[in-house]
Amino acid sequence: MHPRVRSGAVVLAVVAALAPGTAAVGVASSGERGKPLPLERLFDNTAVSDDARPGEADLDGSGASLSAQDLTAAGWTPGRTLTVQGAALTWPARRAGTHDNVRAAGQKVRVHGRGNALAFLVTGTGGAPVGGPGTVAYADGGRSTYRVTAPDWRRGPLATKAVALPHVNTPTGQLAESARLYVVTVPLAQDREVVSVRLPRAPGLHVFALSVRADGAGWTGSWAASASGFPTVGPWRDRTLRLVVHTSAGGPRVRLRFDNTFAAAPVRIGSASVAVRAAGAAARGAPMAVAFGGVPGAEIPAGAQAFSDPLGFEVPAGAELLVSFHLPGTVTAAPVHRLAVQRSYVSEPGDHTADGSGTPYTSVLTSWPLLAGVDVGGGPGTVVLLGDSITDGTKSTTDANRRWPDVLAARLREQNTVPHYGVLNQGISGNRVAEDGYPGDGVSANTQGVSALHRFDRDVLAQPSVRTAVVFQGVNDVRWGASAQQVVAGLRELAERGHARGLRMLAATILPCGGEARCTAAVDAERAAINAWTRASGVFDGVLDFDLVLRDPAAPSRLLPRFDSGDHLHPGDTGLAALAESVDLTLL
Q: Long-range CB contacts (< 8 A, 24+ apart) of 360-366?
A: 360/240, 361/240, 361/242, 361/280, 361/281, 365/241, 365/243, 365/340, 366/340, 366/342
Give the pLDDT confidence of 243-287 residue by residue, as tens digits.
999 999 999 999 999 999 999 999 999 999 999 999 999 999 999
CATH of the domain at 419: 3.40.50.1110
Same domain, yes or no: 145 and 170: yes
Question: Does 235 reside within a domain?
Answer: yes
Q: Measured between alpha carbons, how far is 125 from 132 in angstroms, rounded to an integer?
A: 14
Question: Does 455 reside within a domain?
Answer: yes
| Cβ burial 448-468 (10 Å sphere, 16+ → b, else e) | bbbbbbbbbbbbbbbbbbbbb
Interior CA angle at 240 toward 235 and 245, to 5°? 105
Single residue among 369, 396, 423 that ends a domain in this structure: 369
Contact 321, 311 (CB under 8 A): no
Question: Does 11 reside within a domain?
Answer: no
Question: Does 559 reside within a domain?
Answer: yes
DSSP string, 77-106: -TT-EEEETTEEEEPP---TTS--BEEEES
| Cβ burial 547-574 (10 Å sphere, 16+ → b, else e) | bebbbbeeeebbbbeebbbeebbbbbbe
Tell me the β-bridge partners of 520.
none
Question: Does 219 reside within a domain?
Answer: no
Contact 441, 156 (CB under 8 A): no
Same domain, yes or no: 386 and 365: no
DSSP string, 495-521: HHHHHHTT-EEEEEPPPP-TTSTT--H
Q: How far apart are the first and last CA of the chain?
A: 21
Q: What is the pLDDT of residue 33?
A: 52
Question: Does 1 reside within a domain?
Answer: no
Same domain, yes or no: 317 and 447: no
Pick from 240, 246, 321: nearest CA to 277: 321
Q: Measured between alpha carbons, how far is 430 from 450 in angstroms, rounded to an integer?
A: 10
Contact 460, 466 (CB under 8 A): yes
Same domain, yes or no: 274 and 343: yes
Mean pLDDT, all residues of the chain: 94
At position 145, the amino acid (one-letter code) is T
Q: Measured between alpha carbons, how far is 8 from 5 in angstroms, rounded to an integer?
A: 10
Q: What is the pLDDT of residue 215?
A: 87
Looking at 15-98, which runs of residues are DSSP E strands?
16-17, 48-49, 66-67, 81-84, 87-90
Q: Measured between alpha carbons, how far is 337 from 231 in angstroms, rounded to an integer?
A: 10
3-state secondary structure of 334: coil
Same domain, yes or no: 282 and 392: no
Same domain, yes or no: 420 and 503: yes
Same domain, yes or no: 331 and 394: no
Same domain, yes or no: 36 and 130: yes
Give the pLDDT confidence of 38-82 residue by residue, as tens digits.
999 999 999 999 999 999 999 999 999 999 999 999 999 999 999
Question: Does 428 reside within a domain?
Answer: yes
Same domain, yes or no: 387 and 536: yes
Q: Measured between alpha carbons, how far is 358 from 276 in angstroms, rounded to an integer?
A: 13
Tell me the β-bridge partners of 10.
7
Q: What is the pLDDT of residue 255?
A: 98
Contact 327, 216 (CB under 8 A): no
At position 587, the amino acid (one-letter code) is L
Same domain, yes or no: 488 and 455: yes
Same domain, yes or no: 74 and 153: yes
Same domain, yes or no: 351 and 264: yes
> For the chain, which ranges sit under pLDDT 70?
1-33
Tell me the β-bridge partners of 371.
258
Q: Domain residues for 389?
A: 380-588
Q: What is the pLDDT of residue 401?
A: 98
Contact 318, 410 (CB under 8 A): yes
Q: Measured between alpha carbons, how far is 240 from 234 in angstroms, rounded to an integer?
A: 12
Single residue among 315, 348, 369 that ends a domain in this structure: 369
Single residue among 190, 213, 236 that ends a domain in this structure: 213
Q: What is the pLDDT of residue 191?
A: 87
Interior CA angle at 436 toward 430 and 437, to 5°? 45
Question: Does 220 reside within a domain?
Answer: no
Give the count of domains, the chain: 3
Give the pLDDT confidence of 78-110 residue by residue, as tens digits.
999 999 999 999 999 999 999 999 999 999 999
